[in-house]
Amino acid sequence: MKTHKLFKVSLKLLFSFLLVLVVYTFCPYKLDFLGHYNKVWAHRANSIEKLNSALNYYGGVELDLVYNTENNFFDVNHPPSKSHDLKFETYIQGLKKPERLKGIWLDIKNLNKENASAILYKIIKILDSKNIKYQSVLIETRYPEALPIFTKMGFKTSYYLPYKLYQKNDKELKNTVFKINQILKNQPNIAISSSYKDYTIMHQYFPDTPKYFWDLVWPINIDFLLTRRILKDKTVKIVLVHYFAFKGNRF
């Protein structure tokens, strides 16, 4: 009898724990971000539904764009995922409450020096249609040589750093840091962006450079203390986090 009761109590406790875990997993408000929600934006808001949903909780969103050179439009999509034929013009026009949008992070997958001018003019036209200020928009690319014309126009700009600096050996890291420093020397007004796992290296080698991070831990943040350290860093401008919308999630 006692064993049966103990089993029932244990089962209830387990169910309660799992319920709390599920609720916490999908809740946009987390202890990790307490006191720093002004720095926290939703990652990969690649649908109109997720855009408008995310703005109920965050001041900004990040989305992925692929520029179609032949037809001069942006596809809101993260390759290699299948395109949903959502143009950036349609996406912006679908913004229900523009006053809630404090900032937008554009990860333009194929932005480079050759297509930078065409992309700039297209983005300006789209943003102007909704009176979105350029200063509230971050342009991110792996090709920093494409950024000067955006910086000059008043956009925030960021160099998407090489993958996984924290996994490089000493020689590789030294060479990579040297190249990054050369870029920052030539373009002192751009920021750098990477996974939160590279924070320690970026803080060490580029202590004064503005930084943008994605902190995509799921469902529980095992690097809680590192996340708190990142959010408290005054050079860190925005941290992207997972956001689950009930409609419009695209991975």
H helix count then E strand count, the chain: 8, 9
| Gap between the Cα atoms of 249 and 64, Å rounded | 13
In-domain check, residue 98: yes
> What is the domain range of residue 220?
30-241
Domain count, the chain: 1
| Gap between the Cα atoms of 207 and 171, Å rounded | 21
What is the structure's pLDDT at 9? 65
| pLDDT, mean of each 10-residue run, the chain (251 residues) | 65 60 68 94 97 97 97 96 95 95 97 98 96 97 98 98 96 98 98 98 98 88 94 98 88 66
In-domain check, residue 123: yes
What is the structure's pLDDT at 27? 76
In-domain check, residue 51: yes
Q: What does DSSP say about strands 73-76 and 60-68: parallel, antiparallel, or unpaired?
A: antiparallel
What is the structure's pLDDT at 198? 98
What is the structure's pLDDT at 49? 97
* Helix H or strand E segment including 204: helix 199-205
Query: pLDDT tens digits for 218-235?
Result: 777 889 999 999 999 999
| Gap between the Cα atoms of 99 and 101, Å rounded | 6
What is the structure's pLDDT at 8? 67
219 cis-preceded (ω within 30 degrees of 0)? yes
Q: Is the distance from CB of 148 to CB of 111 less than 8 angstroms?
A: no
Secondary structure class of 216 (helix, strand, coil): coil
In-domain check, residue 140: yes
pTM to 2 decimal places: 0.91
What is the structure's pLDDT at 217? 83
In-domain check, residue 41: yes
Q: Is the distance from CB of 59 to CB of 38 less than 8 angstroms?
A: yes
| Gap between the Cα atoms of 172 and 13, Å rounded | 49
In-domain check, residue 65: yes
What is the structure's pLDDT at 53? 97
| Gap between the Cα atoms of 243 and 51, Å rounded | 10
Residue 231 maps to which CATH number? 3.20.20.190
- For the four alpha carbons of 117, 127, 50 and 54, in that order, the dihedral sign comes to positive
In-domain check, residue 43: yes
In-domain check, residue 122: yes
What is the structure's pLDDT at 191? 98
What is the structure's pLDDT at 157? 98
